[in-house]
């Protein structure tokens, strides 16, 4: 039997009706862009320009303009790749895993988190693609016949698994996002006044009418796609972790990597979702849709996953000692007390210690504080990847191969530039598509049980 819940807090506050939801959420699309949007978009374009310049310099000069060398052959590039892929994971987690668990609070945040997934994967893909150096023969990574120039690909290599994993993840996420968008695009189609708008939204709404038959199938396909995306998201970061774990380099050759990477990905992803949504709910006046309850739930996930990641750091340190392998032991001692100690302890502080503040209700319900903490989480997770990659590589078995590594100006430019790609995409998304899933939010207005 359906009845109104008297125990649970309302997921949408402010006594909104279905037409209020349409009006509030479609407002940025139907009206001219706000000053905040224009300023944000211009800043993003500047960073996008930095990316363009850095990329062109890399392409025309060669990847020698990066500071990577024969010992540290992966530097900022793969750090940034893993960082961005990790960020993307929260979108799938919110839309797929929370759907399977029937967590209705996800409905206000799944759209923007899924968009974030897609934009983050685009940013991530830039790094391994351009690290190839001769990017114009990048298609050799695909399973093409020998006549195309390369031999068949090596199916034993985790780098090839990555090609399949990332491209599948990107295309399935895009499909999931688009199917979720169709009913809302139809709503905009029926609201928008301009002829161009009507044509564009009409084209992408694919003739959606809201028929009961279609809704029933739509809910089923969402459920099956969620069921598919859940193992997919786990597989993607597992495969990313095997890029390291299947090699025999001390510090990388550990079986704990897959679950630890997945937990870290969810942790950093929720950090980025919190960064975006704390700002978006304020600037776009969505406080009744993305409530303090949502922030509370997200920060709890950040705390739990941060703790899992912290336990993984301690476990791998313990196992290095327990293994009796002097190279493993050295790799981990070097991480903590070697020349990159500052990176290791930044990682520990940001990822394990800082999120513990979310045990306190005040910390979980104060937006400005959550915003600061979300930045801390993102900084910490970038350092985690930097620590794993650089500290494991910079002191090889032979002391003659010992080097120090720091990113060059071009590498820094590329990294900052990906924020340009990410935010340019996000601002365009916020202007032209509904940031909150209107159809799903309308279905939870009454807090039905």
Partner 1 sequence: MGILDKKLSLRDRNKMLIGVWEDEDQLMAGASEIAHAGVHIHDIYTPYPVHGLDRIIGARRSKLARIAFFCAVTGLTLMTTMIWYMYVHDWPMNIGNKPVRFTPSWAPVMFEGTVLCTAFGMSFFFFWRNRLVHGIKNEILDIRQTDDRMVMAIETTDGMDEKAVLNMMKNHGAVELREFHNGVQTVL
| Separation of alpha carbons 436 and 423, rounded Å | 17
CB atoms within 10 A of CB 432: 14
| Separation of alpha carbons 415 and 407, rounded Å | 10
138, 144, 149, 154: CA torsion to nearest 10: 80
**Residue among 199 and 406 whose Cβ is closer to partner 1:** 199
Q: Concatenated DSSP letters for 323-364? A: H--HHHHHHHHHHHHSTTHHHHHHHHIIIIIGGGGGGSHHHH
How far is C-alpha 2 from the chain's CA centre?
36
Rounded to a whole number of angstroms, the distance between the first and last alpha carbons of the chain is 8
**Residue among 242 and 268 whose Cβ is closer to partner 1:** 242
**Residue among 222 and 315 whose Cβ is closer to partner 1:** 222
**Residue among 44 and 95 whose Cβ is closer to partner 1:** 95
Tell me the closest approach of the beta carbon of residue 226 to partner 1, in angstroms. Answer: 11
Tell me the closest approach of the beta carbon of residue 289 to partner 1, in angstroms. Answer: 14
Tell me the closest approach of the beta carbon of residue 329 to partner 1, in angstroms. Answer: 27
Cα dihedral 272, 275, 276, 277 sign? positive
Tell me the closest approach of the beta carbon of residue 267 to partner 1, in angstroms. Answer: 23
Tell me the closest approach of the beta carbon of residue 269 to partner 1, in angstroms. Answer: 20
How far is C-alpha 353 from the chain's CA centre?
22
Interface ranges with partner 1 (CB under 8 A)? 17-19, 22, 143, 146, 151-158, 160-161, 164-165, 168, 171-172, 175-176, 179, 182-183, 186-187, 189-191, 202-221, 224-225, 228, 231-232, 235, 239, 242, 438-440, 442-443
**Residue among 204 and 341 whose Cβ is closer to partner 1:** 204
Tell me the closest approach of the beta carbon of residue 287 to partner 1, in angstroms. Answer: 21
**Residue among 160 and 279 whose Cβ is closer to partner 1:** 160
Closest by alpha carbon to 280, among 290, 271, 272, 270?
290
**Residue among 156 and 400 whose Cβ is closer to partner 1:** 156
Yes or no: say if 33 and 44 are a contact pair by the CB < 8 Å rule.
no
Tell me the closest approach of the beta carbon of residue 178 to partner 1, in angstroms. Answer: 9
Closest by alpha carbon to 29, among 149, 146, 111, 122?
111
């Amino acid at each position: 039997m359906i009845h109104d819940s008297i125990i649970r807090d309302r997921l949408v506050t402010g006594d909104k009706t279905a037409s209020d939801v349409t009006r509030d959420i479609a407002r940025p699309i139907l009206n001219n862009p706000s000053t905040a949007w224009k300023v944000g978009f211009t800043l993003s374009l500047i960073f996008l320009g930095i990316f363009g310049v850095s990329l062109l310099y890399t392409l025309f000069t060669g990847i020698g303009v990066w500071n990577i060398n024969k010992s540290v052959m992966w530097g900022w590039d793969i750090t940034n790749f893993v960082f961005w892929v990790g960020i993307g994971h929260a979108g799938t987690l919110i839309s797929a895993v929370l759907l399977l668990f029937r967590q209705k609070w996800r409905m206000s945040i799944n759209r923007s988190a899924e968009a974030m997934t897609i934009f983050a994967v685009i940013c991530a893909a830039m790094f391994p693609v351009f690290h190839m150096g001769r990017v114009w023969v990048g298609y050799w990574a695909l399973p093409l016949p020998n006549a195309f120039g390369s031999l068949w690909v090596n199916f034993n290599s985790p780098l090839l698994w990555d090609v399949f994993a990332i491209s599948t993840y990107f295309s399935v996420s895009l499909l999931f996002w688009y199917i979720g968008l169709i009913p809302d695009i139809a709503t905009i189609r029926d609201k928008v006044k301009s002829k161009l708008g009507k044509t564009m939204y009409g084209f992408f709404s694919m003739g959606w009418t809201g028929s009961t038959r279609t809704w029933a199938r739509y809910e089923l396909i969402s459920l099956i796609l969620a069921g598919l995306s859940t193992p997919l998201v786990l597989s993607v970061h597992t495969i990313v972790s095997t890029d390291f774990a299947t090699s025999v380099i001390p510090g990388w050759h550990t079986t704990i990597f897959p679950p630890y990477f997945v937990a870290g990905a969810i942790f950093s992803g929720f950090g980025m979702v919190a960064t975006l949504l704390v700002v978006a709910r304020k600037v776009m006046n969505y406080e009744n849709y993305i409530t303090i309850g949502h922030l509370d739930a997200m920060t709890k996930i950040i705390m739990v996953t941060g703790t899992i990641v912290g336990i993984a750091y301690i476990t791998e340190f313990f196992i290095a000692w327990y293994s009796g392998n002097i190279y493993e032991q050295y790799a981990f001692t070097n991480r903590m007390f070697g020349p990159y100690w500052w990176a290791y302890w930044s990682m520990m502080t940001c990822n394990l210690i800082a999120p513990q503040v979310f045990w306190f209700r005040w910390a979980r319900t104060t937006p400005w504080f959550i915003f600061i903490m979300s930045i801390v989480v993102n900084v910490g997770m970038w350092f985690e990847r930097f620590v794993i990659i650089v500290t494991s590589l910079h002191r090889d078995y032979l002391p003659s191969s010992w080097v120090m590594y720091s990113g060059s100006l071009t590498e820094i430019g590329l990294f900052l530039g990906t924020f340009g790609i990410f935010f340019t995409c996000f601002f365009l998304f916020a202007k032209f598509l509904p940031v909150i899933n209107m159809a799903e939010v309308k279905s939870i207005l009454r807090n039905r049980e």
